[in-house]
Chains A and B, each alone.
Chain A
Amino acid sequence: MIKNHPKIKELKFTLNRIFTNPSAIIGFSLLLFFIVVAIFAPQLAPPNTKSHNPYIVPHEGFSATPKQPSAEHLMGTTSGQYDIFYGVVWGTRTAFKVGLFVVSIAALIGVMLGVIAGFYGGLVDEIIMRFVDIVFSVPLLVLAMAIVVAFERDIKYVIIALIMVEWRNYVRVMRASILTLRDQDFIHAAKVMGVSDIKIMLRHIIPNGIYPVMVIAFMDIGSLVITASFLSFLGLGAPTGYADWGSMVAQARNYIVGPTGEMFKYWHTIIFPGGCIILFVLAWNLIGDALRDAFDPKMRRQ
């Protein structure tokens, strides 16, 4: 019985679509790699003492010149003698924190507002959507910069600032998918049967209209990690010495060109943290791309 339930069949079809897509397979393997690194960070790069904050990268001395990779420092050290390997490993946790926190909270706020606007319509809809119009007209990076300068330098303020900007992405999408659902027969039927508004929203509207939001959310994790690392690169995000890929790239900025004769001498200072940003973002974008193909009703059956 349960095997032939249309929902199960549909889910199986979707999962099949996703996992036969090569870009999804590459994306999920990359993501799995980063998840493993993030979980086993204390084992891969053990912090010095138990008392101090593990996100602070240990450094030996203050010499500005980076050191080459060696047995002691697997990926060498960057300017200020911060251990790159340690920073890259713990930076994975930072990247997950930023991406997942911002997107999940922003999506929650955005979806709620979108559902309310779409379901009730009228004045409520007008107020919410005009507010979204206003917030939407300032680009993400500029608005996030304006908010983040109000705080001191810390990664948690970057997260807060990005949430305050990011929620707007989901309202319009959710509302649009509610509007197509609102007038369908099964919703009318539920209303006639006396199902409460909240239950209609939670049981019938959100599960049916959530797919476009999910695709955007996956894609946005990547772009948010880029924005957060750029803020750190500018010097508005994580402070120097914090395990964050963006601020590690900022530290390497003056060493992109080595001394005469050995132009790429300091390649490791930028390629390791920078490569991590690119691969991490790539993983989410590959998955998002595959999800879009799998969820898009126009494309999926072709």
Chain B
Amino acid sequence: MLSTHKLVNILQAYIIRRLFFLFFVIFGVSLLVFTIQYSYGPDRRAMLYVDSPQQAKDIPELKKKYGLNDPYPVQYVRYLKEIAMGNFGYSIVAARPVWDAFLHYLPITIELNLFVVPLFIIIGIWLGKQAGIKRNTTYDHVTRILAIIGWSLPTFLFALILLMIFYGKFGLFEPAMLSANIEAFILDNPDKYIKYTGMYTIDGILNGEFGITWDAIKHLFLPVLTQVIVIVAILMRVMRSSMVEEISKDYVITAQAKGVDSKTIFNKHVKRNALIPVITIAGQLAALSMEGSIAVEMIFNRHGIGNWLAHAALKLDTSVIMFMCLFMAVIFVVTNLIIDLLYAYIDPRIRLT
């Protein structure tokens, strides 16, 4: 047995190593992102500073002024300096600095994922557990086929089809964030509705206007459904194969031979062990769910970061694209860090290697 003191030391060293890795990756991504932007050519990047046709003749001066013809390393160092000062450029689509626009759009995406992530984790793990226990039964085969169909569905297409059925046929859940009259109410009563978080569901509760919360939830129904179904399909299969592998281990046979009832075996022993590899996938899927919001936000007309990115890409708003690459990388690396720390906490075999 390790002493607690030694354990803390090992964990500390582990965390320091991981943090070092985090900075390395972020630095690498900034280099990658800058290289992509650099490949657009000086003229294209000078266009970012132009906001009227008359200014187009200034392009050669702009190139000189912002040093766009400078050698690659010089420009990269300048870019790093700007980023370090929190200046990510100007977004043409949002008509404001990238960072301001990002803070404005982020709550909408977080709100969506606040519903998506817990739902897909709970449903995915539960369905996968059942399929693993009832291996090779009708239930297993049916869920398997549904899962394969689920992850063959492109999110954007699935969203359109749901919209076609629910909105087109039944006139329910129009593609917006709030009903028109509720939106008008918010605009008319700035004193009654104060923006705390930027998320309508939470702000509605905080302001005591439960009608707003209910309306926002109604409009979240289809976007959440779309995203959850596609992600659940993946997580469920991972959980199933992890369960199947765990069930075939010797300790399960021992427990069965001792006469432990199967409910205890599955819930207390098998499920807990089977969850370990599932944590990684669930975490990564949660990080990717931010990216998955691009299609959903675009089709359901929600003004989150995904929708912003899609519009920015069309308008060649490159500073937004570069910023989003960096942001997604940070999300991904931090998620991985959290997963690894969770692992080290759950499974002692890992932190010792």
Binding site for B on A (CB under 8 A): 23, 130-131, 133-135, 137-139, 141-143, 145-147, 149-150, 222, 226, 229-230, 233-236, 249, 253, 256-258, 263-264, 267, 270, 274, 277-278, 281-282, 285-286, 289, 298
16 contacts between A and B (CB under 8 A): A23-B148, A131-B28, A137-B25, A138-B32, A138-B332, A145-B313, A146-B36, A150-B39, A234-B314, A235-B314, A253-B160, A257-B168, A278-B152, A278-B153, A282-B148, A289-B144
Chain A residue, CB-CB nearest to B44: A150
Complex alpha-carbon distance, A165 and B298, angstroms: 23
Q: Separation in Å of the B94 CB from the closest CB of chain A?
A: 17
Quick check: B329 and A149 within 8 Å, CB to CB?
no
Quick check: B328 and A256 within 8 Å, CB to CB?
no
Complex alpha-carbon distance, A134 and B324, angstroms: 15
Q: A139-B291, A142-B324, A236-B313 are in contact. Are A282 and B149 (CB under 8 A)?
A: yes
Residues of A within 8 A of B33 (CB): 138, 146
Quick check: A142 and B291 within 8 Å, CB to CB?
yes
Quick check: A270 and B161 within 8 Å, CB to CB?
yes
Quick check: B294 and A141 within 8 Å, CB to CB?
yes
Among B25, B29, B39, B156: residue with most chain A CB under 10 A: B156
Within 8 A of A (CB), among B1-18: none
Q: A138-B332, A264-B169 are in contact. Are A146 and B148 (CB under 8 A)?
A: no
Residues of A within 8 A of B322 (CB): 146
Complex alpha-carbon distance, A141 and B161, angstroms: 22
From A139, A147, A234, A267, give the contact of B332 (CB < 8 A): A139
Chain B residue, CB-CB nearest to A136: B332
The majority secondary structure among interface residues of chain A is helix
Residues of B within 8 A of A137 (CB): 25, 29, 328-329, 332-333
Complex alpha-carbon distance, A147 and B318, angstroms: 10
Chain B residue, CB-CB nearest to A147: B36
Quick check: B152 and A222 within 8 Å, CB to CB?
yes
Chain B residue, CB-CB nearest to A227: B154
Is the CB of B85 closer than 8 A to any CB of chain A? no
Chain A residue, CB-CB nearest to B145: A23
Quick check: A264 and B168 within 8 Å, CB to CB?
yes
Complex alpha-carbon distance, A298 and B248, angstroms: 11
Quick check: B36 and A278 within 8 Å, CB to CB?
no
Is the CB of B40 closer than 8 A to any CB of chain A? yes
Residues of A within 8 A of B144 (CB): 23, 289
Quick check: B164 and A130 within 8 Å, CB to CB?
no
Quick check: B328 and A139 within 8 Å, CB to CB?
yes
Residues of B within 8 A of A134 (CB): 25, 28-29, 31-32
Quick check: A274 and B157 within 8 Å, CB to CB?
yes
Q: A234-B313, A256-B163, A257-B164 are in contact. Are A142 and B32 (CB under 8 A)?
A: no
